[in-house]
Amino acid sequence: MYLHGTSKINAKGHLEIGGCDTVELKQQFGTPLYIVDEALVRQRCREYMDAFRASGLSFQVAYASKAFCVMAMCRLAEEEGLSLDVVSEGELFTALQAGFPAQRIHFHGNNKTLDELEMAMSAGIGCFVADNFTELHMLQALAAEKGTKVNVLLRVTPGVEAHTHEYISTGQTDSKFGFDIGNGSASEAVELASRSLNLNLLGVHSHIGSQIFETEGFQLAVERVAAFAMQVKEKLNVVFKVVNLGGGFGIRYTEEDTPLKVADYVRAITDAVKEHFSDYPELPEIWVEPGRSIVGDAGTTLYTVGTSKDIPGVRKYVAVDGGMTDNPRPALYDSKYEAMLANRAHDENEETVSIAGKCCESGDMLIWDVELPKVNSGDLLAVACTGAYNYAMASNYNRIRRPAVVFAQDGHSDLVVKRESLQDLIACDVIPERISKQPSLK
């Protein structure tokens, strides 16, 4: 397994993250356990901020909280000078409870409810990223009712299809997101928003996909957004102050993945902006929204090995105490991961096994065919790069409790999310009185 950030093998032959021995973390917090390398998260934040400062452009880097949204992460992002991207009332509430400045929060989503819009407007968030005409009319009406004016970006689809999984490609014409540039709806939305007395149109937003390893897609998106910006300037006399180019910057999950450095992505984007907006009245402020690339490779999930099943001539299954409830990505996207035995990191690999989860579901497989030392019940399995879209997408399928989350740095381990209790699982359950009055069938 590739060791990211501060991860290393210590003198005991144990995996160590943030100066914390994973064997000791298991003893203290149990498993499954999400471990976040705090120093690596902060490093990634600073890489984005430093790269944009070097460009000379005005900018905002907004952490895409959908990747991993807990109060401690919101607070960390705020400390590092980032803005925040939220897509639901839950993410917004989490950010506000963490004390994140509302004016640096951007609200996304293709189906924001009236309650969500009202909550965000009352909190005084910095910007709404409007996704469709229904939302524009709702924003206009609500802002008028409140006697206020709100900042708006229009999400547009530039017709750029990123080389990624079809479920996480978002910039192509056939997408549930945004106003399409090609069919004229984006231009119509600009006209509508710019004429509104209660909407302050800042500019446009474009996002082409996720887990992208090249810059050509971003550069093409900039070119098309710039052409659109020139078009609406000439036709409607509207000038965009902000261009948000989204996120989607890839990370290394396995040796097959070849992401660029943060600075390379940023340089390609900012150079394209300078080139394609050279004839614009003024270079727009550039916003981006990295999520996975900030927290993805900083996360490791620790499991305890339980049972195994050896099918001669076929494969050997090794089961752990988690699975698709704490990491649904292999089942959803056929995502690939690397793993190691955290308690026996120096041992030589001896067998090829497949890591199964404990859910009553044949598709609950975390890793197919990974090389490991001879695996024993009670061993600790560490799966790398689980910081993004693992805790965020975790579920209680089979009534399995969601794991705890720990931040590790400089030998200190801090609990940032408690492990769910059995009582937590039934906290929202209600048994109607009529059911308890039903006669017994026995």
Q: 26 and 76 in one domain?
A: no
Q: Using an 8 Å Cβ cutoff, are 222 and 267 in contact?
A: no
Q: What is the pLDDT of residues 61-117, one digit of tens each?
A: 999 999 999 999 999 999 999 999 999 999 999 999 999 999 999 999 999 999 999
Q: 225 and 106 in one domain?
A: yes
Backbone angles phi and psi of 351, in degrees to 5: -150, 155
pLDDT band at 334 (very low <50, low <70, confident <90, very high): very high
Mean pLDDT across 357-367: 97
pLDDT band at 436 (very low <50, low <70, confident <90, very high): confident
Give the span between the Cα atoms of 184 and 231, in whole angstroms.
11
Give the span between the Cα atoms of 159 and 386, in whole angstroms.
31
**Measured over all CA atoms, what is the biggest interatomic distance in the chain, rounded to whole angstroms?**
82
Q: 33 and 137 in one domain?
A: no
Residue 269: count of CB within 10 angstroms of its CB: 25
Which has more confidence, 59 or 168?
Answer: 59
Mean pLDDT across 24-44: 98
> Do β-strands 15-17 and 20-21 pair in parallel, antiparallel, or remain unpaired?
antiparallel
pLDDT above 70 covers what percent of the chain? 96
Give the CA distances from residue 404 to residues 4, 311, 360, 367, 401, in Å, rounded to whole numbers and listed in that order: 21, 34, 22, 22, 9
Q: 138 and 218 in one domain?
A: yes
Q: What is the pLDDT of residues 231-274, one digit of tens each?
A: 999 999 999 999 999 999 999 999 999 999 999 999 999 999 99
Which CATH number belongs to the domain containing residue 403 in this structure? 2.40.37.10
pLDDT band at 170 (very low <50, low <70, confident <90, very high): very low
pLDDT band at 173 (very low <50, low <70, confident <90, very high): low
Is 272 contained in some domain? yes
Q: Nearest 10 degrees: CA dihedral of 367, 371, 373, 378?
A: 0
Considering the candidates 20, 69, 74, 360, report the single residue annotated as catalytic.
Answer: 360
Q: Is 361 annotated as a binding residue?
A: yes
Give the span between the Cα atoms of 104 and 60, in whole angstroms.
9
Among this protein's residues, is 74 annotated catalytic? no
Q: Is 434 annotated as a binding residue?
A: no
Is 382 contained in some domain? yes
Is 436 contained in some domain? no
Give the span between the Cα atoms of 415 and 92, in whole angstroms.
22
- Which residue, 292, 323, 348, sits at the end of a domain? 292
Q: Is 267 annotated as a binding residue?
A: no
Q: 171 and 78 in one domain?
A: yes
SS3 at position 350: coil
Q: Is 291 annotated as a binding residue?
A: yes
Average pLDDT, the chain: 95
Question: pTM for the complete prediction?
Answer: 0.94
H or E element that contains 106: strand 105-107
Q: 284 and 365 in one domain?
A: no
Statement: residue 172 has pLDDT above 80:
no
Statement: residue 2 has pLDDT above 80:
yes
Quote the tokens at residue 260.
Answer: 């660029």
Is 86 contained in some domain? yes
Q: 180 and 53 in one domain?
A: yes
- Which residue, 231, 265, 292, sits at the end of a domain? 292
pLDDT band at 160 (very low <50, low <70, confident <90, very high): confident
**pLDDT at residue 171, rounded to an integer:** 42
Is 412 contained in some domain? yes
Quote the tokens at residue 270.
Answer: 């900012």
**pLDDT at residue 167, rounded to an integer:** 36
**pLDDT at residue 174, rounded to an integer:** 65
Q: Is 329 annotated as a binding residue?
A: yes
Least confident range from 68-72, 163-167, 324-328, 434-438: namely: 163-167
**pLDDT at residue 179, rounded to an integer:** 93
Residue 96: closest CA among 61, 124, 129: 124
Is 264 contained in some domain? yes
pLDDT band at 164 (very low <50, low <70, confident <90, very high): very low
Q: 136 and 213 in one domain?
A: yes
Q: Using an 8 Å Cβ cutoff, are 219 and 206 in contact?
A: no
- Which residue, 253, 273, 292, sits at the end of a domain? 292
Give the span between the Cα atoms of 288 and 18, in whole angstroms.
28
Q: Is 63 annotated as a binding residue?
A: no
Q: Using an 8 Å Cβ cutoff, are 386 and 327 in contact?
A: yes
Give the span between the Cα atoms of 332 and 361, in whole angstroms.
13
**pLDDT at residue 261, rounded to an integer:** 97
Mean pLDDT across 410-433: 97
Is 243 contained in some domain? yes
Q: 73 and 17 in one domain?
A: no
Mean pLDDT across 359-378: 97
Find the domain containing 29 and state its range: 8-37+296-426
Q: 371 and 287 in one domain?
A: no
Statement: residue 339 has pLDDT above 90:
yes
Q: 50 and 21 in one domain?
A: no
Mean pLDDT across 301-317: 97
Which CATH number belongs to the domain containing residue 77 in this structure? 3.20.20.10
Backbone angles phi and psi of 40, in degrees to 5: -70, -40
Block residue for tokens 């056939």 = 174
- Give the total number of structural domains in the chain: 2
**pLDDT at residue 434, rounded to an integer:** 86
Q: 156 and 30 in one domain?
A: no
